[in-house]
Structure 1
Amino acid sequence: MKDCILILSGGMDSVTLLYDYQERIALAISFDYGSNHNAKEIPFARLHCERLGIKHLVIPLDFMAKYFRSSLLEGSEAIPEGHYAEENMKSTVVPFRNGIMLAIATGMAESNDLQYVMMANHGGDHTIYPDCRPEFVEAFDGAAHAGTYNGVHLLSPYCNMTKGQIAARGKALGIDYAETWSCYKGEEKHCGCCGTCVERKEALAEAGIDDPTEYAK
């Protein structure tokens, strides 16, 4: 039964969720909010939706790049290098990004008589991204259910999984991760040094997948 909207970035996690729950996904939405890597991610989101025959929309959120402060919105030079566990990676937080995107997706779900909105946050996000944590998921689920006539719920199937476990799920599903984008710098190749590149490498290694990514470093 097609009862879900998926927020689909074009990265490893959301693409895995797309394939994992394809039988339930009526619509996938990508948000162009002016980040360095939107232009690299969104074509992959479109590619996978076309392949699976799932309707895909791109919704512009231009105001975020204008009014929000984050290194993701300031050009590739602003992106710090290192592991997500390091303090400097907090600069990559886009304030309440998921809350804003989920609010729009919830309105879309109610407008299309769909019961669920899905997001692909995971356990590794919890350290620095407040709007990826279990308490946020629980709170937003309650708000969405209370604020819609059809009682929309938020689903977060990977919330307590590691990225490596998600990659292993993708391996079982036959996903080619060369057809995904992670790097926050959004240049021609993955930089290989920013937090999300480091996490990508670790996840693929944990899942026993030969890394197909072309890295600049």
Structure 2
Amino acid sequence: MKTLVICSGGLDSVSLAHITADEHQLTRLVSFDYGQRHRKELDFAAAAAQRLGVPHHLMDMRGIGAALSGSALTDDIDVPDGHYAEDTMRITVVPNRNAIMLAIGFGVAAANCDEAVATAVHGGDHFIYPDCRPGFARAFDAMQQAALDGYAEVHLHTPFVERSKADIVREGARHGTPFAETWSCYKGGALHCGRCGTCVERREAFHIAGVPDPTAYADPEYWATAIAEREAT
């Protein structure tokens, strides 16, 4: 199946790119610059495309991102520390982000005769992000069948939508994903901070998966404290 992968440069999407390259026909990676403070993730997406020998389409959505205000990812708002599943992480929602990106991805796929658009949304995203949930995925896929009816047949591929980030780590490791060449931290510093929700979730996923974590964290021990505090509530 000729498959386009939406790739941010993070652990999930880069793993999906490697898995897709092994199991399907990976045609291209599509990434988005929406003015995110952790824009350095896009360098990791570009590196993944080069490593896998496919084109990298970088879409400039900075104007759109500026209009989707109110998120700690795009505005001058502190990214909160703590576990990813805390209510505080709702400040990282960029409204309709995935819906917008997927709509563009489907257009690119249709124009290039691809058969599927793959995205690495997973079960850990459901609590915070509405456009990562199974219901959204089903509805979006149905909408795209209507949008492209008679022109192209492209389907949404969400292999992790009912699975955990630890499952992604296991599958990524099995397919040789170079995890050190991925970026998760929402703060976008020189190192992964180790304290924001994405860093805590990343570190926890490696721990649960039983896979060594090659990531350098500025605060490598905070994740255990964040998890303990969440479990105590």
Query: Contact conserved, 1:189 with 1:216, CA < 8 A, in 2?
Result: yes
Aligned to 1:157: 159
Distance in 2 separating the partners of 1:156 and 1:174: 20
SS for the counterpart of 1:21 is: helix
TM-score, normalising length: structure 2: 0.89
SS for the counterpart of 2:73 is: helix
Aligned to 1:42: 42
Aligned to 1:183: 185
| In the alignment, structure 1 residue 73 sits paired with structure 2 residue 74 | yes
Aligned to 2:202: 200
Aligned ranges for residues 139-150 of structure 1 at < 5 Å?
Answer: 139-148=139-148, 149-150=151-152
SS for the counterpart of 1:212 is: coil
Aligned to 2:222: none
Aligned ranges for residues 128-147 of structure 1 at < 5 Å?
Answer: 128-147=128-147
Gaps of 5+ in 1: none
Aligned ranges for residues 9-88 of structure 1 at < 5 Å?
Answer: 9-22=8-21, 23-38=24-39, 40-69=40-69, 70-75=71-76, 78-88=78-88
Aligned to 1:173: 175
SS for the counterpart of 2:57 is: strand
Name the stretch that deviates more: 168-177 or 115-124: 168-177
Query: Contact conserved, 2:31 with 2:42, CA < 8 A, in 1?
Result: yes
SS for the counterpart of 1:211 is: coil
Query: Contact conserved, 1:49 with 1:55, CA < 8 A, in 2?
Result: yes
| In the alignment, structure 1 residue 211 sits paired with structure 2 residue 213 | yes
Shift of 1:65: 3.1
Distance in 1 separating the partners of 2:153 and 2:142: 9
Distance in 2 separating the partners of 1:201 and 1:155: 26
CA RMSD in angstroms comes to: 1.2
Any idea what the Cα deviations from partners look like across 1:48-89, whole Å, max 9, x if unmatched?
A: 1111111111111012332112110124x6101111221111
Aligned to 2:111: 111
Quote the sequence identity (%): 48
Query: Contact conserved, 2:18 with 2:176, CA < 8 A, in 1?
Result: no
Aligned to 1:8: 7
Aligned to 2:123: 123
Query: Contact conserved, 2:34 with 2:66, CA < 8 A, in 1?
Result: no
Gaps of 5+ in 2: 220-233
Shift of 1:152: 1.8
TM-score, normalising length: structure 1: 0.95
Distance in 1 separating the partners of 2:68 and 2:143: 24
Shift of 1:172: 1.2
Distance in 2 separating the partners of 1:200 and 1:187: 16
Shift of 1:208: 1.4
